[in-house]
Amino acid sequence: MSNSPFHLLYLGEDLAWSKLSQALAAAPRGSIKIHRAQSLNELFLVLAGGRWQAVALDVVAWNFQGLHYVDKIRSEYPSLPILALYSSAVNDLASKATNVGASYTMAIESLDSDTLLSAILATLADLHPHPHARKDSPVLVTFNLSDQAHNSRTQAISHALNNLLCVITANADLLAEHVTGSSNGEHSLTEIKKAAKSASDLMRQLK
């Protein structure tokens, strides 16, 4: 890796954080700098305030809301690398994370310094052909810092609505696993998902 540390932003629960911390402890000293965000809102705020080269996202977190966060982050920052940490005990979770925008996937159970460094080296390889993606944070594509004060209220409302949509969609997915043989229940879930998708599409058009 280069002499400059790789700046990684993490969002997720304690289990994945513990494995990630262990992997970092075994990595070359000073090669990776990491910050843990406590919420999606904080993640967006931290991204806006610094130069972060990638996000590590625990897609298992909060009953799989982390999976929906991948899509939210990708919609805000199309060029930002997202490393999805998933559980190999859940079928197709890695492919689902990739489908919603994850750049790389790593099983939490097998996460160590080697797999982490391999993913980061692959991230650096992708970024090298586009120097501006490293020197000018992907956040700057969406957030103009000079206008941030003027737009802060609108952004806060937008992020709050995004979080609400995440909760609605995540819980609809969970309910779908328990609704069997009930045409009324299945119809209601379909309508909830359609409404959430329409609201999400509208939010993107308004940004």
- The pLDDT tens digits of the residues spanning 159-177 come to 556 656 666 766 666 666 6
Identify whether the C-beta of residue 106 lies closer than 8 Å to the C-beta of residue 87. Answer: no
Query: pTM of the full predicted structure?
Result: 0.59
E strand or H helix at 67, and its extent? helix 61-76
In angstroms and rounded to an integer, the radius of gyration of the C-alpha atoms of the chain is 18
Identify whether the C-beta of residue 45 lies closer than 8 Å to the C-beta of residue 100. Answer: no
Residue of higher predicted confidence among 30 and 100: 100
Residue 94 has pLDDT above 90, yes or no: yes
- The pLDDT tens digits of the residues spanning 17-29 come to 999 999 888 877 6
Within 10 angstroms of residue 162's Cβ, the number of other Cβ atoms is 24
Order of strands across the sheet with 104-107? Answer: 32-37, 6-11, 54-58, 82-86, 104-107
Closest to 6 measured CA to CA, from 142, 130, 123: 123
From CA 108, how far away is CA 132, in angstroms rounded?
31
- The pLDDT tens digits of the residues spanning 49-78 come to 777 889 999 999 999 999 999 999 999 888
According to the model, what pLDDT value does residue 192 have?
Answer: 76
From CA 102, how far away is CA 58, in angstroms rounded?
11
Strands, DSSP E only, in the chain?
Answer: 6-11, 32-37, 54-58, 82-86, 104-107
Burial of 120 (0-12, 13-18, 19+ CB in 10 A): buried
Confidence class for position 143, pLDDT limits 50, 70, 90: very low
Closest to 85 measured CA to CA, from 114, 119, 44: 119
From CA 47, how far away is CA 14, in angstroms rounded?
21
State both tokens at 37: 């965000």
State both tokens at 109: 């159970």
Of 43-47, 110-114, 193-197, give the lowest mean pLDDT range. Answer: 193-197
State both tokens at 183: 């045409």
Strands, DSSP E only, in 42-136?
Answer: 54-58, 82-86, 104-107
Mean pLDDT of the chain: 75
Q: Tokens 């075994």 — which residue?
A: 26
Confidence class for position 14, pLDDT limits 50, 70, 90: very high
According to the model, what pLDDT value does residue 175 have?
Answer: 66
- The pLDDT tens digits of the residues spanning 103-118 come to 999 999 989 888 888 8
Of 126-130, 154-158, 188-192, give the lowest mean pLDDT range. Answer: 126-130
According to the model, what pLDDT value does residue 5 have?
Answer: 77
